[in-house]
Amino acid sequence: MQNAPAGYWSIALRSRATSTSLCCFDCSFVAGLLEACAYCTVEVEAVLLISYDLPYPEPLHAARPITGLVGAALLLAPNVTSASFARLDVQIETDARAPTRMQDPALEALRCGNPTGRALPLLEALAGPTAATLVLDYLNGSVVKLTLSPC
């Protein structure tokens, strides 16, 4: 069922463009970001990353309750254009640094309670005018360090 939105989108637009659906428990947004960045870099073409999480049906809900509804979309391009407003450098690191947290308690609860909520620090940084370095949890104690700089 997770690939249904991409299927409906491609049918509606009669598009044969590549799409990928993935799931990586609480690291789903970060895994999607890494895959989108890799594709953008290797294929040298823009990639639209769309991430969302809804409450799961049982028995999955019992294993991982999802709180709140969160969706995020990023258009990643291989080169800076006149429409670009930020540059994103991505690095996987094996040190167990704490992830970047949200200052607002409600947003922090949403960040922790929904896999796509892990995108909130990046979205907040993108909304700001200054450079930022963020840390997002990834697999097996590793983290993804994001360095964001305005264009």
Can you give the pLDDT at residue 139?
92
Can you give the pLDDT at residue 65?
92
Of 24-28, 53-57, 108-112, minimum mean pLDDT range: 53-57
Evaluate if residue 89 carries a pLDDT over 90. Answer: yes
Can you give the pLDDT at residue 78?
95
Can you give the pLDDT at residue 17?
80
Q: Answer with the residue of higher pLDDT: 16 or 69.
A: 69
Domain boundaries, the chain: 4-150
104: nearest Cα among 132, 83, 124:
124
Can you give the pLDDT at residue 2?
62
Of 52-56, 72-76, 101-105, minimum mean pLDDT range: 52-56
Residue 45 banded pLDDT, cuts 50, 70, 90: very high
Evaluate if residue 37 carries a pLDDT over 90. Answer: yes
| R_g of the chain computed on alpha carbons | 16
Q: Report the C-alpha gap between 150 and 39 in whole angstroms.
A: 22
The contacts of residue 44 (CB under 8 Å, 6+ apart) are 78
Evaluate if residue 32 carries a pLDDT over 70. Answer: yes
Residue 40 banded pLDDT, cuts 50, 70, 90: very high
The contacts of residue 103 (CB under 8 Å, 6+ apart) are none
Q: Give the mean model confidence (pLDDT) for residues 90-107.
A: 93
